[in-house]
Amino acid sequence: MLDKDKKIKVGIIGATGFAGVELVRILLKHPHAELSALGSVSFEGQAISGIYPSLAGLCDLVCTDSQSVIDKSDLVFACVAHGMSQEFAADCAKKSVAFIDLGADFRLESEDEYKEWYDGEFLDKELHEQAAYGLPELFRKDIRGKKIIANPGCYPTGAALALYPALAGGFVEKTGIIIDAKSGVTGAGRSPSQTTHFPLCNEGFAAYKIAAHRHTPEIEQSLSHAVGQELALTFVPHLLPINRGILTTAYAKLKEGVGLDEVYDYYENFYKNEAFVRLKSLGQTVNLRDVKYSNFCDLALHADERAGNLIVTSAIDNMVKGAAGQAVQNMNIIFDLPEGAGLDLIPPAF
């Protein structure tokens, strides 16, 4: 690890995408890190502040190529599409540069599932064995000491934090689980599409990739760890006509004789030392407004006693806890820094 008095030199590959520029926003205020280089294929040779004027005078680094980013950094964040990160990770490993992938290349433990859902393969199986899945509240012990981190997807973050304790505590059945989630359009990335183009998204609301979204196996993988066996669930995402946030509503069948108070006590104990998970009191609800621009995940528990279901809702900012903020949280862990360093981000009141 680095000398505690020396700042970590951090580079970002894919710095001009939404997750990349969110990393820039957070890291500019990080007390133990400094931006060393920004990489962009589309905007190479241009200053980041020319692409995002909000950064004028705050960060005027000129975007360069990925190799320069790796050469100048102690740690590299990769904000690129799946299929691109494995080669970057291999290069970083050769140079003893830590690597945090905000894409999907290292998230799935099974190569067969990666082939099925992403139509790719593990280029270096040993490299994948060295990687850790970076959802700190659930897998912190696996992250420490690692230099390759798979930053979780935004939907899997909200879903896993919502249901993991219920499954780990044995309060709900392992079958019939339904995850219903709604995301802001930034989750689709910077490039516009037919679904994210403003006039086609605004004043509309629709489900998409029903029971076929690539985050499904990632959610199943996390929740399977809670019970020690493979789970299958139904995941339905929706696109909200807003910029940021993911609201997840998770449904699971309560086991006979289990009451909401018992489940709540378990959740309260499970997350009592987690600074970024805020459990609402019974009867309260979560709202995307209350987590916007922050690394918080807000949770609320409800029970449908008539149907015998546990209902857990979670709210995160998909660009922070669902991407850049969680990536910085992982950086803090692997460099043995205070986990909340640089993440004292306060949500707006309205």
**Which are the catalytic amino acids?**
154
Q: How far is CA 223 from the centre of its chain?
A: 15
Residue with tokens 């489900």: 207
Of the candidates 122, 88, 116, 123, which has an alpha carbon nearest to the alpha carbon of residue 102? 88
| Cα–Cα dist 268/180, whole Å | 23
With b for 16 or more beta-carbon neighbours within 10 A and e for fewer, the 295-304 pattern comes to bbbbbbbbbe
| Cα–Cα dist 68/74, whole Å | 12
**Two tokens, residue 74:** 């102690």
